[in-house]
Structure 1
Amino acid sequence: MSAYDDDFAAWAAEQAQMLRNGQLAQLDTGHIAEELESLARRERRALATCMSGLLAQLLAGQYQPERQTAVWHATIRAERREIRQLLEESPSLTENLSAPRWRDMVWSSAFAEVVEETGLDGLPATCPWSLVEEVLAEEWLPS
């Protein structure tokens, strides 16, 4: 049997085969649990990254209307589409949208990106929009 630390790909393939064969007693349950938790974290990070990117686009566009080009609109549509797909594939991620700590973390990342990219100041310290009713709404844009 391959060791988890020596050849991850071989270990994963062997674990999957043992699981399919019903060889439950031989499974490396500790490492399997770690990997499953890691997968869940990656999904949450992917959602946060997409949401932060979308918020940054919306924020920059609101404070610099000249950015509102066809490319800007296409980027917003693409981010929304990606977020919708993530939420459809993993509906439990929707809980993050209403979690204040998660929302603050995502806004902080978007805020920092916009400040770094544009040098703008006077931006709102907290997200002024509803993530579900506004930010993710197909045609909504900040005014």
Structure 2
Amino acid sequence: MPAYDQDRAAWAAEQAQLLRERRFTQLDTEHIAEELEAVGRSELRTLATCMSGMLAQLLAGQYQPERRSAVWHATIHAQRREIRHLLNESPSLAGKLQEPRWLDVVWSSAVTEVVTETGLDGLPATCPWSLADEVLADEWLPN
């Protein structure tokens, strides 16, 4: 049997085969559990990255209206589609959108991105928009 720390792809294929054959006693349960937890963390990181990127676009567009181009609009729409897809595939992630601590981290990342790209300062410390009613709404854009 391939070792988990030597060839993860071969190990995963072997573990899947053992599961299909119902050879449960031969499974590497500890590493399987770690991998399953990693899948959840990866989905959450993807959601945070998409949300942060979209918030950065919205923020930059509000403070620098000259950035509002067709590409800007397309980027926001693409991020919204990706977020909807993630939430459809993993509905349990939607709960994160209600967690103030998670939103603070995502907002902070968005602000950092905008400051790095534009040099703007004095940006809001917290997200001024409602995620459900504004940020994730298809046609909403900041003033």
| TM-score, reference length from structure 2 | 0.98
User: Distance in 2 between the 1:119 and 1:6 partners?
Assistant: 45
User: Distance in 2 between the 1:5 and 1:68 partners?
Assistant: 48
| TM-score, reference length from structure 1 | 0.98
Structure 2 match to 1:51 = 51
Taking the TM superposition and a 5 Å limit, the aligned residue runs for 1:81-120 are: 81-120=81-120
Taking the TM superposition and a 5 Å limit, the aligned residue runs for 1:1-143 are: 1-143=1-143
Q: Which segments of structure 1 move beyond 3 Å, counting only runs of 4 or more? A: none
State the shift of 1:82 in Å: 0.6
User: Counterpart amino acid of 1:2?
Assistant: P
Secondary structure of the corresponding residue to residue 74 of structure 2? helix
User: Counterpart amino acid of 1:75?
Assistant: T
User: Distance in 1 between the 2:32 and 2:107 partners?
Assistant: 33
User: Counterpart amino acid of 1:48?
Assistant: A
User: Distance in 1 between the 2:120 and 2:6 partners?
Assistant: 49
CA offsets per residue over residues 18-67 of structure 1, 9 Å max, x none?
00000011100000000000010000000000000000000000000001
Secondary structure of the corresponding residue to residue 137 of structure 1? coil
Identity percentage over the alignment? Answer: 74
CA offsets per residue over residues 72-112 of structure 1, 9 Å max, x none?
00110000001000000000010110001110000000000
- Structure 1 gaps, min length 5: none
- Tell me the matched-pair count: 143
User: Distance in 2 between the 1:29 and 1:130 partners?
Assistant: 42
